[in-house]
Structure 1
Amino acid sequence: MMRKFAYHVLPDPDGRGWIVAVEGYVAHSLPYGTKEEAIEVAEGLVRRYPGSTIVVDEQPPRLTPIELEHRLAA
């Protein structure tokens, strides 16, 4: 059975571009220069794991990087 993930594309909390984070996991990607680059990466992951979804968060989170990691890991 293939795993399904929810990939979040969101502004890097440190202000260095856009990141791709997987819901339920603490780690996230290195920052990409543009939102479009991050979405392309997330689309590639969705093709690799059919049934997965992409969530684009337009606003930077009001959380610290540690709080963000804990929220995505929950």
Structure 2
Amino acid sequence: MTQRFAYHVMPDPDGWGWVVAAEGYVTRSLPYGTVQEAIESTEDLVRRHPGSTLVVDEQPPQLTPIEIEHRLAA
């Protein structure tokens, strides 16, 4: 059985373009230059994981406590 994901295309919180993240995961993709490039890449992921969804977020999500801690430690 294939795992289902909700893939979010969103502005990079660091301001470098657009990134893709699977809901519930901290890891994000490397930034894409345009929203269209990010969507095209995500559509390929959705095709490989039947039942998955693509969501375009206009605002970057709030940083999680783990991400804040990681950035402060760097």
TM-score normalized with structure 2 length: 0.81
Counterpart amino acid of residue 14 in structure 2 = D
- RMSD over aligned CA atoms reads 1.4
Q: Which runs of 4 or more aligned residues in structure 1 lie more than 4 Å from their structure 2 counterparts after TM superposition?
A: none
Report how many aligned residue pairs link the two structures.
66
- 2:72 alignment counterpart: none
- 2:21 alignment counterpart: 21
Matches of 1:9 and 1:46, distance apart in 2: 12
Deviation at 1:56, TM superposition (A): 0.3
Larger Rg: 2
- Structure 2: which 5+ runs fail to align? 69-74
User: Is the partner of 1:60 in helix, strand or coil?
Assistant: coil
Matches of 1:45 and 1:9, distance apart in 2: 12
TM-score normalized with structure 1 length: 0.81
User: Is the partner of 1:13 in helix, strand or coil?
Assistant: coil
